[in-house]
Structure 1
Amino acid sequence: MQLLDEASDALRQEQQRSKRFVQRQDSASLMPPTPTSRPPKMETGEDLLLKKLPGSVEAAEGPEAVGAVSAKSSFRSAHFQGVLPCEEPPAPASRRHSLMSNAEVDLKLAQSWRRKGTATTSKVARTATSGGGLKQLSGEDDAEQLLIIRTLNRFVLDPSSPKRLGFEVLGLFLIIYDLFWLPMQVFDPPGNTFTEVMGWTSSIYWALDIPMSFLVGQIIQKKGIIEMHVRAIAGLYIRGWFWFDILVVSVDWSLNVYEMVTNTRNVGGISALRLGKGVRILRVFRLIRVLKGGGMLQELLDTIHSEHCIIIVGIVKLLGLILCVNHFIACLWFWIGRQDPNGIDTWFYDNAIDGRGIPYQYSTCLHWSLTQFTPASMEVYPTNATERIFCVCVIVSAMVIFSSFISAITNAMTQLRTLNKDRNEQFSLLRRYLTQCNVSGGLLARVLQSVSSAMNRNKRRVHEEDIKVLNMLPLSLRQDLNSEVYSPTFALHPFFSVCNSCFELHIRKLYSVALKGRSLPPNQELITSGESATAMYFITSGALTYKCDKQLSPLPVLLQEGKWICEAALWLKWSHNGFATTGPEECDVVGLDAGKFQDIFKDDITVKNYAVAFWTYFMECPGSLTDAWADEELLFDWATGALVSAEKHVGGVINPDHRNHAFTRHVINKRRSSSAMLDETHVGKIFPKSGSSIDGPE
């Protein structure tokens, strides 16, 4: 008991000295907040004795005490990503001063952010350039014409937008309808309400498609870009499908008008057999739309992401093509059989099907057509020279078409087997093992289902480096692709949420040259303590566990999808002070090269100010910085400061990336109104004033 009393008195004296030292240094901001989620721990005499032992935080004196308090303040900084507080490890008294000196040396501002220079944001340059172009245009053209062009540009649709894809699906359905129904006119089918409605729907649709085509972006394959300006779109369309569409639509509506005048009821408005040979030739123009249907179908297939679905759809396309060819041959075979004026020497009258209905006549012709493509036979055969010649031509064509079809089907099936080759081999071995071990049926099914689920979860992510053909893309198209792939992940960080809105040119280049994806197997290290930090990592799938060298808790920190690690590498000369490893499952990360990031943004005053704010804060409390540090409050304040700087240069309101909902709400709350610009009062003194020196220590 006497020993405990002495320890308590000594501890009380040490705490009073530490408090007086903190007050003299005016470091009240470094005092750690009391965690509300943890109840105060009752301390026993044994705990008090341990606190007095050499090397404990409470036993430290002078600057060591400040460092300990600073280390504890990392609890609030760790709130955003769940990082546990880190404390200085015990060290002999002779080394305490050297440890503090090393901590100060390590926290140096990166060389790129210490350079002097004045710059603006890339958005300012882009706005000035576009403004000059508009002034030149307004000087050449009438103001009213300029207003019309600007208005029309707002209505231009992206070719891959849902509205345009829905419109093209309707057009593809009408093309398939024409492919089936127009050749059926040789059977002289009676008209009905459905066929009349479909005929008028087709005519109206293709008439509307012409003006709509002037308001749909055109893909320029050579440059890999989408042209979204009305003038350029009009030029491309007029040099392309415009005159073809005008011809087909004109013929279609002429036939419709003729049908209305003559009161001829039939599908599409006109009967091909009643209008004579000339009108039948004109009707063929509607079938030429099949050329456009191929492009429409390909655009729809481009929206499919599953390799299995693409192969299966390819097989269905081949089957549809074979049926379409046989449909045309069947209609031609029926037409040839009815050409004998005497009605005797043809297969049509020889088989006595002239009195049968249209369904039986068509199915008989289709059956005959299919037998020419396959080794099969039927009772219908040619009875004159014309039919015999046509039959020979069909057989010769069928040898080429059907052999190509079989080859394509075989290739597609081989691709399907190749995709599942490794999976099938593993399942085969597993079934053999379970069978040889006489495993019961119920347990066998449970094992197979569990393995199948695990294999589906552990599929390796395909990275950009694995696809060599991407190097063949034009630079602008490559940048568009990378921006769409990576911007949702980076937008979760408040600073990059601002970058996506303010630094468009810089960020496109960053996503193209400074990122590298990695797939880490289970239980593998991503970063190692003591190594120089060269990249910041964003977790795209899976999870990482991080443990700081100075962490007292034995439990590691869990960083899941959407989090990041090693942000200090972008702003400081930083060395890792912990270990980050994967868990029992694979983890995919995207690495942002710190050197390339600094080269791209080194001349931007806004990013420099953000770097200085980051460095300044941790110069005051170096013990709180870890690889997994992420304080939501500070990150939001610094990102808001970057937004203030950008708005000041642009002279207008800039909204951050809307995909970061939390930061967007934070900015909205900071604004005086929904459309007001932010000012420096929203950020306080975190950022230096414009024009002031931001040079860090040499």
Structure 2
Amino acid sequence: MRVVRLLRVLKLRRIIDAMLEYIESEFTFLVISLLRLLFFIVLLNHVIACLWFLIGKESSTSNIINWIEVGGYQDETATYKYFTSLHWALTQFTPASMDVSAKNVYERMFSIAVLFFAMVAFSSIVGGVTASMTQLQNLRSNHMKQFWMLRRYLKQNSVNKELQFRIEKFLEYRIMKEQEYVQPQMVLHLPKLSIPLRNELAHSIMVQWLRGHPLFHKISTLMPNFMHKLCSNAIKEKVLGQGDIVFEHGEECNHIYFLSAALVLDYTPLLNKRREEVEDADSTRLQQKQWLSEPALWVPWKHLGVCECDKPGELISVDTNNFQKEMCAHPAPRTFCASYARLYVECLNNLPKDMLSDVLDESTLDTTALVDRANAVMAAIYDVGRGSSSALDLSHLGLP
């Protein structure tokens, strides 16, 4: 009856299969599959070793010659007897030998049964291990071959060493990301989703990078439907490599940028400076939860500096034209954003000229306070619309 408890191993397999669903790396999945096969071999040989020892022990009790007495293992410890039995079991699965063999008809019958079982089971196990090892080798060899071809291509076309290094580092980063994270184009069922579900999915993925800005955090909280459409139609993700230029001084700006977790940017302000003086100018290092070029949402804007990627990662960009289009299609977002824009532009005009920059975060402009004032304006306007007040007095809000 205790042997029946071995059926719990089937439950263990279901648990392991459920855990494997959380593994995203193909390399890790193959390694774990290989370890699972090895564990099964050890478990199977443990059971056979226990049965082999049981037959020898029962034969000794019945005064039948057995492998324990012939080998002189009567006085050995239980641990030594167990590992001797395990050694015998392993030799039945592999082309190996040892001094322990069957000494009576029961042991001989069991040996024959194990040999027949081993021919079928072990061949399939070895086939699985070989297939896993072959896949691991193919993954590594294909990766190395492709990079070897890349280096040959770059050398044959006389590409300089610095650019070769940047290209290789960027491709290593992209391949690593593709191995760790499932790419949208790999999920064949995604195009079958309805448009509202696509919008919600895009919102769930993108909004985590936008919530660092008080305005987008407030929009996400108060107007989730508008934020869903915004994430689907106006927000894109772009992968940057080390040394890539995000924008140059003087370029027309039609995006506001947000940094992902891995990305690190260097921003150098060049107001009233020439492009050649960029190396002598002081740069600002930008990391996660910072944003660039917010004024482009509200006014015509040209970049006032140079932004360069220092560490590879993803840059989240909000297209200003699509943002304005989606905003104007809904009364509540239009009212809220228009109030915020008036307050923001007033503060922008009041800034000293030497403080103007593409990086206008909380340290320069108190955007949280501007969002609160814009929200109060919107609330006051809607109170009047509902007839709760006979006149609209916004003088206490400081709205220009």
State TM-score, norm by structure 2: 0.66
Contact 2:291 2:359 in 1 (8 A): no
Question: Which secondary structure does the structure 1 equivalent of 2:397 belong to?
Answer: coil
Question: Which secondary structure does the structure 2 equivalent of 1:364 belong to?
Answer: helix
| Structure 1 Cα separation of the partners of residues 382 and 125 of structure 2 | 63
| Cross-structure match for 2:332 | 605
Q: Deviations over 1:351-382 (max 9, x none)?
A: 45455432122212221222233332222334
Equivalent position amino acid for 2:317 in 1: G
| Structure 2 Cα separation of the partners of residues 542 and 592 of structure 1 | 18
1:266-415 correspondence to structure 2 within 5 Å: 279-280=1-2, 282-295=4-17, 297-298=19-20, 302=23, 312-337=31-56, 342-344=62-64, 347=67, 351=71, 353=73, 356-382=76-102, 383-415=107-139
| Structure 1 Cα separation of the partners of residues 55 and 378 of structure 2 | 76
| Structure 1 Cα separation of the partners of residues 188 and 202 of structure 2 | 12
Q: Sort the Cα spacing of 1:649 and 1:401 in 2 relative to 1 into closer, same or farther, 3 A.
A: farther
| Structure 1 Cα separation of the partners of residues 233 and 69 of structure 2 | 74
Question: Which secondary structure does the structure 2 equivalent of 1:397 belong to?
Answer: helix
Q: Deviations over 1:501-528 (max 9, x none)?
A: 3334443554455433223345543235
1:667-682 correspondence to structure 2 within 5 Å: none
**1:526 aligned to which of 246, 260, 269:** 246
Equivalent position amino acid for 2:307 in 1: T
Pairwise CA distance, 1:424: 10
Matched, 1:628 2:363: no
| Cross-structure match for 1:592 | 318
* Percent of aligned pairs sharing the same letter: 21
Contact 1:498 1:642 in 2 (8 A): no
| Cross-structure match for 2:389 | none
Q: Sort the Cα spacing of 1:369 and 1:491 in 2 relative to 1 into closer, same or farther, 3 A.
A: same
| Structure 2 Cα separation of the partners of residues 297 and 642 of structure 1 | 48
**2:185 aligned to which of 453, 468, 477:** 468
Mark the runs of 5 or more structure 1 residues left unpaired by the alignment: 1-278, 427-450, 652-679, 688-698
| Structure 1 Cα separation of the partners of residues 381 and 100 of structure 2 | 83
| Structure 2 Cα separation of the partners of residues 387 and 311 of structure 1 | 33
| Cross-structure match for 1:542 | 264
Pairwise CA distance, 1:423: 8.5
Contact 2:245 2:309 in 1 (8 A): no
| Structure 2 Cα separation of the partners of residues 593 and 616 of structure 1 | 21
Question: Which secondary structure does the structure 2 equivalent of 1:379 belong to?
Answer: coil
Contact 2:238 2:315 in 1 (8 A): yes
Q: Sort the Cα spacing of 1:590 and 1:358 in 2 relative to 1 into closer, same or farther, 3 A.
A: same
Pairwise CA distance, 1:626: 6.4
Pairwise CA distance, 1:629: 5.1
Equivalent position amino acid for 1:322 in 2: I
| Structure 1 Cα separation of the partners of residues 377 and 100 of structure 2 | 84
Q: Deviations over 1:370-420 (max 9, x none)?
A: 223333222233452343123222232111112211331343355456667
* Aligned residue-pair number: 352
Q: Sort the Cα spacing of 1:285 and 1:459 in 2 relative to 1 into closer, same or farther, 3 A.
A: closer
Pairwise CA distance, 1:339: 6.0
Question: Which secondary structure does the structure 1 equivalent of 2:128 belong to?
Answer: helix
Equivalent position amino acid for 2:371 in 1: A
| Structure 1 Cα separation of the partners of residues 12 and 381 of structure 2 | 53
| Structure 1 Cα separation of the partners of residues 368 and 147 of structure 2 | 46
| Structure 1 Cα separation of the partners of residues 198 and 36 of structure 2 | 30
| Structure 1 Cα separation of the partners of residues 298 and 189 of structure 2 | 34
| Cross-structure match for 1:637 | 369
More contact order relative to length (CA 8 Å, sep ≥ 6):
1
Contact 2:253 2:302 in 1 (8 A): yes
Question: Which secondary structure does the structure 1 equivalent of 2:284 belong to?
Answer: strand
| Structure 2 Cα separation of the partners of residues 375 and 513 of structure 1 | 65
Contact 1:606 1:646 in 2 (8 A): no
Contact 1:543 1:587 in 2 (8 A): no
| Structure 1 Cα separation of the partners of residues 76 and 224 of structure 2 | 70
| Cross-structure match for 2:308 | 582
**1:614 aligned to which of 333, 336, 341:** 341
Q: Deviations over 1:602-626 (max 9, x none)?
A: 4151453223431465379399696
Q: Deviations over 1:70-100 (max 9, x none)?
A: xxxxxxxxxxxxxxxxxxxxxxxxxxxxxxx
| Cross-structure match for 1:658 | none
| Cross-structure match for 1:492 | 212
Question: Which secondary structure does the structure 1 equivalent of 2:97 belong to?
Answer: coil
| Cross-structure match for 2:386 | none
Q: Sort the Cα spacing of 1:368 and 1:552 in 2 relative to 1 into closer, same or farther, 3 A.
A: same
Contact 1:330 1:369 in 2 (8 A): yes
| Cross-structure match for 2:293 | 566
Pairwise CA distance, 1:535: 2.3
Contact 1:535 1:566 in 2 (8 A): yes
Question: Which secondary structure does the structure 1 equivalent of 2:330 belong to?
Answer: coil
Pairwise CA distance, 1:323: 1.8
Matched, 1:686 2:390: no
- Higher radius of gyration, 1 or 2: 1
| Structure 1 Cα separation of the partners of residues 381 and 317 of structure 2 | 30
| Structure 2 Cα separation of the partners of residues 480 and 339 of structure 1 | 68
Contact 2:298 2:345 in 1 (8 A): no
| Structure 2 Cα separation of the partners of residues 313 and 385 of structure 1 | 36
State TM-score, norm by structure 1: 0.41
| Structure 2 Cα separation of the partners of residues 509 and 329 of structure 1 | 63
| Structure 2 Cα separation of the partners of residues 364 and 477 of structure 1 | 62
Q: Sort the Cα spacing of 1:367 and 1:598 in 2 relative to 1 into closer, same or farther, 3 A.
A: farther
Pairwise CA distance, 1:319: 2.9
Equivalent position amino acid for 1:412 in 2: L
Question: Which secondary structure does the structure 1 equivalent of 2:239 belong to?
Answer: strand
Q: Sort the Cα spacing of 1:521 and 1:407 in 2 relative to 1 into closer, same or farther, 3 A.
A: closer
| Structure 1 Cα separation of the partners of residues 45 and 111 of structure 2 | 16
Contact 1:546 1:628 in 2 (8 A): no
Tell which deviates more after alignment, 322-331 or 499-508: 499-508
Contact 1:500 1:507 in 2 (8 A): yes
CA RMSD in angstroms comes to: 4.8
Pairwise CA distance, 1:479: 7.0
Q: Deviations over 1:207-228 (max 9, x none)?
A: xxxxxxxxxxxxxxxxxxxxxx
Q: Sort the Cα spacing of 1:533 and 1:552 in 2 relative to 1 into closer, same or farther, 3 A.
A: closer
